[in-house]
Amino acid sequence: MSVAVSPQATTLAVGGTQQVTVTPLNPSGTPLAGGSAAVFASSDSTHITISPTGVITALQPTVGGPMFFTVTLQLHGVTHVDTAYVSVTPTRQAAASLTINPPPLVPIYDQTPVTVPVVVLDSNGNVLSGIYPYFSVSQNSGATIAASLGTLTGVSLGKAWVHASVTAYGVPLQDSVQVTFTYPLFEFIQFANNGSALTATNGIPGVDSVWLSAGGQVVVFNNSTDSISVIFDDSTAVVGANIHGLGASLAFLQFPTAGTYNWHVPGVSPPVTGVVVVQ
């Protein structure tokens, strides 16, 4: 069971108000009857207040991002909590459209989330600032997104729908785009000493393999105390392979063609091997 709060994001001018509705849902999304009265709480009552009946009042402009309020509901003995967002601008404006500008291909396993840009226009085509929509992604998509910031992270290959919605000065606006998640264009392999043994990792403990989009680059670091060689079983499609006698430095490898490229470090025990998967 869950709680649906509407709107999930709203923009008001100072002095403006907005009624919030709260609907309990069963796992299939069908509204449920019963349950306790919703309890509302503002994150900052100097900017927004919300009454016991769910009426938001905007008091002063927000800066740098939205405020939020929480909704708590008891249903069949279970406490459900949801969060919604409120932006406040100095004056009311006429919002006409919201458009998501699709980000480029989003790399998975990247440490830096990709921000999904949204543009809100008035009826004259002018960009309106200070409006922060609510973001979500399709379920089971292998992606996560920060609801109020629109920062998107992919964790598996494939496609996902990204949604943005806001009620701006009483006008509901929304848009959706499909985003493709790919392997990154940059990765690294780092060699180091673990006691008397040589180890290799790409930053994930115990993982000595990397995944890359075609045209990407792998940087090889040698932080071990010895010079090493990195030999690919098939180096014909690897620009910069093989590596011989890499000391306390780094080497750059380009992978212009999709394929699976196995490598090993000769002359070390226990063996050190890995693979670069390029798609």
Cis previous bond, 270, omega within 30: yes
Alpha carbons 167 and 79: distance in angstroms, whole number: 27
The CATH number given to 95-182 is: 2.60.40.1080
Local confidence band at 155 (pLDDT 50, 70, 90 cut-offs)? confident
Domain 2-89 has CATH 1.20.120.420: no
Mean pLDDT calculated for residue range 39-50: 96
Give CATH 2.60.40.10 domain extents, the chain.
2-89
Pairing between β-strand 78-89 and β-strand 9-13 as defined by DSSP bridges: parallel
Backbone dihedral region for residue 192 (phi beyond 0: left; psi -120 to 50: alpha; all else: beta): beta
So what's the pLDDT on residue 111? 59
Give CATH 2.60.40.1080 domain extents, the chain.
95-182
Q: What is the pLDDT of residues 58-104, one digit of tens each?
A: 999 999 899 999 999 887 778 889 999 999 999 999 999 999 998 76
Q: What is the pLDDT of residues 243-255, one digit of tens each?
A: 888 888 888 999 9
Is this prediction's pTM over 0.75? Answer: no
Greater confidence (112 vs 148) lies with: 148
Looking at the domain covering 186-278, what would its CATH class be? mainly beta
Mean pLDDT calculated for residue range 16-36: 79
Alpha carbons 65 and 87: distance in angstroms, whole number: 7
So what's the pLDDT on residue 100? 95
Give CATH 2.60.40.420 domain extents, the chain.
186-278
Nearest to 254 by CA among 208, 210, 219, 202: 219
